[in-house]
Each structure stands twice: as structure tokens, then as C-alpha cells.
Structure 1
Amino acid sequence: MPTLGQLIDRNADRFGDQDAYVELDRRRSWRELGQRTDALAHALRSLDVRKGDRVGVILPDCIEVAETIGACAKAGAIRVGLNYRLAPREIGALIDDAGLDVLIVQDTKVAIAQKALTFSKRQPVLVGVGAQHALERDYETLIAAASDRGAFTHTPHEQLMICYTTGSTGLPKGAIYPHALMIESMGVIALTEGAGPDDVWLHAMPASGVPIIHLLRNMFHGTKCAIVGEWDAETALKLIDREQATICVLVPTMLNDLLSSGLITQYNCSSIRQLGYGSAPIPPATVCDALKAFGCKFLQMFGTTELMGMGMMLTATDHERALKDGHNCLESAGRALYYVDVRVVDEQGNDVPNGEAGELLIHSPYVIPGYWNQAVEYSETVRDGWLYTGDIAVIDAEGYVHLKDRAKFRIKSGGYNVFPVEVENCLAEHDAVDEVSVFGLPDPKWGDRIHAVVTLNSETVVSSAELREYCRGKIANFKIPKDIEIWDALPKGPTGKIQKREIIEICGRDDQSGAA
């Protein structure tokens, strides 16, 4: 399997003048990408970066994200993506955890980086990207100074990057991505989803973490990747229209945003042949709306940071089956891919029969080999090669894996187990509901009291009582939320996931203050 640097150089030789990456106002050809990653690798050497040293980046999605990982791959450095949406104290902790030697920062994020360094023991060399950073070292100046040094002799190395989890419990953990395994995983995913040499990839997922795999999908065929940047529905539609994008992956909130924007018919989206969605559960009703709006094939992808990509998929055929025959597979996360094994076990680790709920375990050749500096946490997450996902799931007779919820979000109300996702799916079917989050709050009578927070589609009015009544007859009465709050927006994480833990904390504080 070629290295990432070799893929870049091969494409520079074969497809030199063709676009590698485009944004709304910039383009970079494969030849330019090859030359600039060589020059940046030379520049990293001049900053005393050696094999195994860690280079951090704080960048919104942009062409430089691809350039920096390409240069690190050539120089043998370990690339570390830091999400600027984290609090400065959290970023500072990750700078220390990774042991960064260099930190490349977008000019609009310099203040965040400098604040983060006040919480960090390490003081990495800062390199500014953009015209307004005012740092001593400038990204373009470093590249220009090294541009006459020619091709960079690649440094073989095992670890390509550290990918931090989203940190839903405590600080994020640094998943170690080996170079060869990550490239192989990327290739297998591209093969599985059917990406080909004529595809134009639309990149919308935040690439500070594992979604960088999407940003690099074009490496195998030397094709074009159009980068949306900070998510904006109209920017995405403009790029689809202008660049004739054919394939992309979105998180549910992005798909919802496109559907509610009212802009889809104003742009030519006929080039899109396949839309993938993943990263969080999505109500079947939303999938049906998206199928009607775009008229293309749909895939659902299930993966985690620890899998270096995907583990399960709902294929286009599955979607057609659900729409034509009313099959319930859209309520699942799909079936295990051909190289993946799945199990569902009880609290003692024993396999449970199909149809019974338990914790989902996944075995794949692409399970990460460890967490950076966290051997104990890794040994608790991966045991005997099996990834303990923390998801409660049921496998049906056809092998579809139905995710009931995260184990930590399971509600125990009045002696019954209630999985939030089934209540969320019910509420999401109401025409007025845009997004929904369901969870349990402590209750002296019920143990957990089922609580919901929703946002509404624009120009719709519905009351909490009407939403509760809507649920009646669709789900068991004991599953109907005792209270439904209507918010203007739900908090989102770095990959667009709804931050249920944050919502619970807010509602929990309000609950306690109300009781007082």
C-alpha cells in the first residue's frame, strides 16, 4: 500500500494540472499540492521537526488541512488535529497530552490558540496561516523559502496521526492512527461506498478529527475534492452546482439544514448521485424527506474514531427496500461490512440471542492499536481485539443492527427500560419538529423522568401538549415524555452531533432550581 505522500506525488505526476482541492474562491492542482507539501516538509525540518514529532493544526476546513497532513506524512511527523470549538483550557490540555512541537493556526483562530497556551506547559512553535495572524512565522513565507529545494525524500514512519475523540465523557482521548492501516482503511471505505475515478467529492464534515478520512478520499483516483469549510447550506449547494459534485457524506444536522433551507431548487444538484449520512442517528422520516428532495442514492454509514472509519452500512438497496416494501431497515445502522464482525453481549459479556438488547461489540482489522498516553483507557475499550462501543443494540434475524442508544443514556422509568432514540424517532415524524433530543432526568417517583427538547421548523407553531398528544398511540404511554421543551436551537459538537450531555446539564440545573 503506498503512503499518503506517495499518493500525492503519484497524482502530481499523472494529473498535474487537474484540480485536487477547491473552495469557493481558491483552487489547488495536484502538481501544486505535490510541490507545496514537499516545500512544507522542508520547512518543518527547518523548524527542527523530526520523525515522530507531533505537529498540531488549528484550522477550519480548507486546502491547508490537506497540505499539512501531506507534509507531515512526507516528513515522518505525526499530525494532530485540534478542534477550535473546544474551550481554550481543553485545547491547552491536548497540546500537553500530544506533546506538540509545532502548531499551525489559521489567522482567525490565533487568539484561541494563544489563550490555550496559557493553560499549557508546552510552548510549541506557532505558524500562522492567512494574512491577519501577526505571528513571527508565516505559513506561505516558509513554503516560499523552501520552494527551490525540490522533492522531499520521504521519511518512513509508522504513525500518521493522532485523532482525538469528541470527548463526550471527560477530555478527548487521542486515537493513534498507523500510517499503513489508515491508508488501507480509506481505500476499503472508498471501495465499499463505490467512489470512482469520475467522482467529485463534496467535503462538509469537520476534518479536525476522523472526518479527515473523507477529505483525503480523492487521493486514490486523483480526483477533485470541493471543500465547504465552515458549514453553510448555500455554500454547499453552490459548490455542488459549480463543481458538479457527485458524492458526499453529511451529518444529520447538515442534512436537516439543507432540507429546511428552501434553497435546493435554486441550484442544479442533478450531478449528485449518492448522499451518505452518519455520525449520529437520524429519524427515518428525515431520510424519506431527503430522498424526495435529492432523488439520488443514499447510504447510511456507522463508524467511530476507534474504527478508523466504518463498521456498518445501510446500502442504497436497503433504502429502496424500505421505501418500496416498508421494511424497517431504515430504523437500523445497517449490517456489518464484509471485513467486520459484530456481537451483542450482556453485562457479563455473554452473547445474547438475536432480538435481545445488549452492548454492541465490533471486531475489525482497522480498530486502533491504542490511545496516546492512555493505555488503561484503551484496555477498557478494546479487549481481545473487540471494540466495546458503549452502544446498546439489537441484531435482528437478517443481521441489521438496531442501535437503541448509548448505554449511559438508557432511561429506567417506573421499572421499564426506555431507549431515547425510539421516542426521538416518534417526535421527529411530526411535521413541525426539526430536531429532537430525549433523555431521563432524576425523579423520586419514577427513577428517571422522560424529558424531551425539540426545535421547530420555521413558521410552525405547536405546543408541548400537542406534541405529547401526537405520541399517544404511536409509542407506549410510559414512553411519552412527561415534559417537552421547545428551544430555538440545540447545542452541537465539532462534528455536528447534538450534544445531549450538555442539554441534560442545562435541563438538570433548571430542574433543580425549579424544585428549590
Structure 2
Amino acid sequence: MQQTTFQAVLLKGLRRFAELPAVTLLPSEETITYRELLEKIELVSTYLHNLGARRGTHIATLISNSLEAVIFGLAVQRLGATLVPLGEKLGPREVGFILREAKPKLVIMATKPHVTTILEYLEEANDPNVHVIGLPGFGVDYPEKFMIFEWPVEKKDLDFPVSEGEDIALLSYTGGTTGTPKGVMHSQAGLAAGILSAAIEDPIDDRDRLLLSTPIVHAGGSLLWRALISGVHVYVMRAFDAEYFIKAIKKYQITTTFMVPTMLYRLLDQVKIMEYDVSSMRSIFYGASPISPKQLKEAFEVFGPIMRQQYGMTECNIVISRLSKSAHVWAYHNNQEVLKSCGKPCLFTEVRVIDDNGQDVGQNEMGEIIVKSPSMLVGYYQRPEQTQEAIRDGWFYTGDIGKWDEYGYLYIVDRKKDMIISGGMNVYSSEVERVVNQHPAVAMSACIGVPHPDWGEAVCVVVSGRAGSSCTEEDIIQFCKERTSKYMVPKVVYFQEQFPLTPIGKIDKKELKKMYAQGLLTI
């Protein structure tokens, strides 16, 4: 039996809904139907084919949230080519590194800060078969060496390539917060398995209206693809704005959204100072980290019991485990400790927690989380040694430290790389953060290890305070002394109004460590 491909699933999904609205860009309200979306995909695919793109050709995109980002990303899949999505928040170093390693034949761009980096790539390639395509309408002044895309595109009858299951559909680079980014290869069959798994576990359909404000080159893009195979009307914001987001829910009767916890916290702060109506909402997907019971209670009061957490990573195409709506409600009323979990394994995913000898640990014992799934990565691009280290006997070693509880819920305790060794004791940064976040004056915190002459590393916490509240370093330290082990109590506390964030909205601990080294953190 021929393997189901991502290309086939997407195309079949898009063709089923014809006159229904597919995507609306906000705030402009420009809308295209499913039929129009498919027509534009076909035209762009023809255009890219005329430039030499074929099955397996690397095509990089660097486009902010827009209709163009949706159309061009899907056109790459229509061609059976390999999509190399780049986030607009990536710096020149990261973009340059990825381009030089992935060597895309086509680069489609629409971001002003990256023009010089991409021009350098084009000149270094010195290849007449390598093209950079600039998209108009984004306020970018493109160099003469770039091609400028223009509608309309001449329509031609073209026998588009048909993908095979083992073809690489997606080459997605990790954030690069430690070392250089790694290219994660996902096959056509793997992405198809991921999207079908999500369709089973995340029931949304043509009655739903999905609002996305996170970059669609990241987790938001997976939900976008998931929505478009089911006839969902997707609303795409160019960037997140809490006040506009709340207004959009009412105006467009939004039923579903995805956000990282930091965005949810901003929404909860926003509704305290404005009138709102979110009665249309049925599902809020969130990821990156669990939410505290205190803030979850606020979310329940505002949105209702509609929270759905998902644990995933670039290598596993999001689908590792989920904490369902019903699990949130049960946990909130019966065992709030479960709210700190990331749920139970997804339908097509096997999860183990193992010790250093590869043996499964018992309940509430710490170990590394390893995963086996048809939707996980094929390997790291041009990194056979790292691939061999990460994938052993069909299991992917996540680098996350976790544990099981007596109910079968999975907990992420920390990243191996974020674990602090202070005076010979293992300190899990996320455990310190959970204690600190319970302080009524704390909105968010991040725990990092900083060099210390006696202990090797000292526990350091960076805190962002709640509006209208205040506390001191001594307050935080004393608060922790009363609630956690002595070796986990912070030795120093810094205060920041805003945290540096990674492109997907996580607190960037590497940047915090750099700020510490440069003396930029303040007590």
C-alpha cells in the first residue's frame, strides 16, 4: 500500500470546500475562498516550476504572517519540493548560516532586515539557477539582483510532481538558542501522520473560525495546515496585539486559537481594563510551558473550561502528548498538581521516561523523555552523528527531563541543558520557576545558572512583576525558603520589565545569561 503523503492530504482537503472562506488577513480583512486559495497555489507552483523548482528542490521562505505566507508555503508542497521556512525574527547570523547549509535554489522573501544577508547568499552562490524572489507590498526596497513577483501569473497546464512518502517535505531549523541551528528533516509520510493524528485528537471543522497571531512558520503553521484540511475559516494577524485580539474574537466570532502562555497572560491582563465578549470561544490550544493554577483559574473565569495544552517539539511535529479540556477541568477541581503536567501521550505516539542506563523509571522518578512516532523527524540535515545520537533503536531522545505520576500524566521537569548543578546538587530550573511564580507580585520568572567560584553554578532568578505590585529580592528569597529545598533557593534575584523571547515566544535563557555576563540585569 502506498504511503499517504502530506502533499496528497493537503490537496484533497483544500479541494473539498470550494466557496467557503479559507483565509482572512487581519486587520485588512482581505479574504480568499478555498477555491481562490487553490487557484493561487497552482499559479505560484507553476511560477516556481518555471524557475527550475522540482520535487525535492530546497525552497526557503522568509515571509511575515500574510496571505502570501500561506500561499507560497502551500505552493512549495504542491510542487513536492522541500520547504525551508525561516522566521522573520531570526538574526542575520542565523539566516546566513541556514541558507549556506540548506543551499535553497529559490528564496522567497518579504522582510526588510534580511535583504543584505540574502543578497550576500545570492552573490556567494554565484549560480544562475539560484534565484531570490521579492514579494511586493511589504515595504521592502529590493536589490536589482532580486526578481520581483507580480500577479497575475500566466496559467499553464502542468503535470505537477507526485510526492513519495520518503521525500523530505519540510526542513525546519531549530531555534539555535544553543550553538548553531540544526535542520530537522520531516518526510511527506511523517507530516501526513502528524496532521492526521491532530485531526483525530483536535476536532475542528468547517463551522470553526481559527485566529492565529503567532508566526505561522512555527507551531501556528501546523495548526494552519490542520485547519485547512477541514474547511476551517482561518484568520491570520500580522502580529499579536492583546487589545485587538480580544476585539477580534467578538467581531469575527472566533471559536479557536493557539498561543504561548506569555500571550495568554497578556490577554488576562487586558480584559481587566476593557469590555469583552469571548462567548464564541470553544478551544484555546497552548504550548511551550504549563500554566499555573492561579492563572488557569483566571483563564477559566474569562474564557471558560476550554484550555488544551500540547507538548511537542520541532523534531516531533508537535505531537508528543496533550492535556485535554476534560483533563484540565478534572485537575482543576480534583488535583491541581496535574495542571503542571503535559498530559498523556498522543494517539500515534509512544513515550518512555528512562534513566541513564536506558531503563524505564518508576512513578515520580526523574529520567529523560524518549519518543517513538510515525510523525517524528527522519534526521538532522547533514548531521549523521547528531542524528545517530538523537535517534536510537527508533526512539528519539528529546533532551527533556520528565516523570510520570500515578495517574499516567507526563511532567516535564526541565531541559537537560537548563539543569543547574550547584554544589553538586541537581537544580531543575522549571521547579524553581514554579515556586517563584506563586508569589502574588510575580507575573513571570526565569531561572538560570550563573558561574560561582565555590558552588560551580549559583541559582539565579530573573523576575517580571505584576502591574501594580512590587517586591524585593529579599521578599522572593524568603518566599522560596519557606516553600522549597535549601539548595533550590535563589542566591540572587534580578528584575526585568520584559524578557528577551525566542522567535516562538519562549523566554530566551541564553540571552538572559548573556545579559548577566554583560552586567545588564538589575536588582
| TM-score, normalising length: structure 2 | 0.91
Query: How much is the aligned-residue C-alpha RMSD, in angstroms?
Result: 2.5
Q: CA deviation at 1:210?
A: 4.7
Per-residue CA deviation, residues 297-339 of structure 1 (Å, 9 max, x unaligned), is 1111100111112111111122112221134111212121232
Unaligned runs of 5+ in 2: none
| 2:31 pairs with 1:27 | yes
Q: 1:126 aligns with which of 128, 132, 146?
A: 132
Q: 1:253 aligns with which of 244, 249, 262?
A: 262
Q: CA deviation at 1:416?
A: 2.7
Q: What CA distance in whole angstroms lies between the structure 1 residues aligned with 2:119 and 2:367?
A: 43
The 3 A distance-change label for structure 1 pair 326 and 351 is closer
| 2:74 pairs with 1:65 | no
Q: What CA distance in whole angstroms lies between the structure 2 residues aligned with 1:151 and 1:449?
A: 62
Q: What CA distance in whole angstroms lies between the structure 2 residues aligned with 1:73 and 1:28?
A: 19
Unaligned runs of 5+ in 1: none
The 3 A distance-change label for structure 1 pair 349 and 311 is same
8 Å contact kept, 1:61–1:206: yes
Q: What CA distance in whole angstroms lies between the structure 2 residues aligned with 1:462 and 1:453?
A: 13
Partner of 1:145: 153
The 3 A distance-change label for structure 1 pair 390 and 12 is closer
Letter in 1 for 2:519: D
Partner of 2:90: 86
Partner of 1:431: 440
Q: What CA distance in whole angstroms lies between the structure 2 residues aligned with 1:358 and 1:73?
A: 38
| 2:163 pairs with 1:156 | yes
Letter in 2 for 1:237: I
Partner of 1:275: 284
8 Å contact kept, 1:17–1:31: yes
The 3 A distance-change label for structure 1 pair 265 and 6 is farther
Q: What CA distance in whole angstroms lies between the structure 2 residues aligned with 1:150 and 1:261?
A: 51
| 2:393 pairs with 1:349 | no
Q: 1:38 aligns with which of 29, 34, 42?
A: 42
8 Å contact kept, 1:159–1:176: yes
Please show how residues 310-325 of structure 1 align to structure 2 within 5 Å.
310-325=319-334
Aligned to 1:440, the other structure's residue is in SS state strand
State the identity %: 28
Q: What CA distance in whole angstroms lies between the structure 2 residues aligned with 1:502 and 1:281?
A: 22
Range that drifts further, 372-381 or 492-501: 372-381
The 3 A distance-change label for structure 1 pair 451 and 492 is same
Partner of 1:476: 485
> Matched residue pairs, number?
510
8 Å contact kept, 2:290–2:309: no
| 2:9 pairs with 1:16 | no
Per-residue CA deviation, residues 203-256 of structure 1 (Å, 9 max, x unaligned), is 233222354211212222122111122222233223322221111221111111
Q: 1:364 aligns with which of 373, 376, 391?
A: 373
Per-residue CA deviation, residues 445-499 of structure 1 (Å, 9 max, x unaligned), is 3332111001112232222212222223222233221111111111000100101
Q: CA deviation at 1:184?
A: 2.5
Q: What CA distance in whole angstroms lies between the structure 2 residues aligned with 1:111 and 1:445?
A: 44
Q: What CA distance in whole angstroms lies between the structure 2 residues aligned with 1:402 and 1:3?
A: 32
Q: What CA distance in whole angstroms lies between the structure 2 residues aligned with 1:2 and 1:358?
A: 35
Letter in 1 for 2:156: R
Q: CA deviation at 1:13?
A: 4.7
Q: CA deviation at 1:290?
A: 1.7
The 3 A distance-change label for structure 1 pair 47 and 479 is same
Letter in 2 for 1:56: A
Q: CA deviation at 1:102?
A: 1.1
Range that drifts further, 114-123 or 269-278: 114-123
8 Å contact kept, 1:226–1:239: no
8 Å contact kept, 2:256–2:281: yes
Aligned to 1:309, the other structure's residue is in SS state coil
Q: CA deviation at 1:403?
A: 1.4
| 2:495 pairs with 1:486 | yes
Q: What CA distance in whole angstroms lies between the structure 2 residues aligned with 1:431 and 1:228?
A: 32
8 Å contact kept, 1:39–1:152: no
Letter in 2 for 1:145: V
Please show how residues 3-402 of structure 1 align to structure 2 within 5 Å.
6=8, 10=12, 13-24=15-26, 25=28, 26-106=30-110, 109-118=111-120, 121-122=124-125, 124-131=130-137, 132-135=139-142, 141=150, 143-146=151-154, 148-149=155-156, 153-157=160-164, 158-262=167-271, 266-402=275-411
8 Å contact kept, 2:292–2:340: yes
8 Å contact kept, 1:165–1:209: no
8 Å contact kept, 2:25–2:236: yes
Letter in 2 for 1:491: P
Letter in 2 for 1:239: A
The 3 A distance-change label for structure 1 pair 240 and 417 is same
Aligned to 2:498, the other structure's residue is in SS state coil
Q: What CA distance in whole angstroms lies between the structure 2 residues aligned with 1:11 and 1:300?
A: 25
Q: CA deviation at 1:76?
A: 2.0
8 Å contact kept, 1:279–1:302: yes
8 Å contact kept, 2:163–2:188: no
The 3 A distance-change label for structure 1 pair 45 and 171 is same
Q: What CA distance in whole angstroms lies between the structure 1 residues aligned with 2:476 and 2:90?
A: 34
Per-residue CA deviation, residues 415-440 of structure 1 (Å, 9 max, x unaligned), is 43221112111111222211100122
Aligned to 2:279, the other structure's residue is in SS state coil
Q: What CA distance in whole angstroms lies between the structure 2 residues aligned with 1:150 and 1:33?
A: 18
The 3 A distance-change label for structure 1 pair 269 and 194 is same
Aligned to 1:226, the other structure's residue is in SS state strand
| TM-score, normalising length: structure 1 | 0.92
8 Å contact kept, 1:237–1:264: no
